[in-house]
Amino acid sequence: LDGVIHSAGVLRDGLAQTKSAEDVSAVLGPKVAGVAALDAATAALPLSAFVLFSSTASALGNVGQTDYAAANAFLDAFGAWREAEVASGRRSGRTRVVNWPLWAEGGMQVSGSVLERMHRGAGLIPLPSVAGLAVLDAVVGGDATQVVVVHGESTRLRRLLKREALPAAQKTPAPVTTIAPAVAVNTETLEASDLGVRAELYILRLLSDALKLPVERL
The pTM for the full model equals: 0.69
Cα 84 from chain centroid?
A: 21
Residue 84 pLDDT grade (very low, low, confident, very high; cuts 50, 70, 90): very high
Residue 4 has pLDDT above 90, yes or no: yes
Query: Strands 176-180, 183-186: parallel, antiparallel or unpaired by DSSP?
Result: antiparallel
Residue 128 has pLDDT above 60, yes or no: yes
Digit-coded pLDDT (tens) for 92-126: 999 999 999 888 787 776 666 666 776 676 777 88
The whole-number pLDDT of residue 121 equals 66
The better pLDDT of the pair 122, 169 is held by 122
CA angle (148 as vertex; 166, 2 as ends), nearest 5: 135
Exposure string of 54-93, with b = 16+ CB inside 10 Å and e = fewer, is bbbbbbbebebbbbbbbbbbbbbebbeebbebbeeeebbb
Lowest mean pLDDT segment, chosen from 78-82, 128-132, 170-174: 170-174
Strand ranges across the sheet with 49-55: 3-6, 49-55, 94-100, 146-148
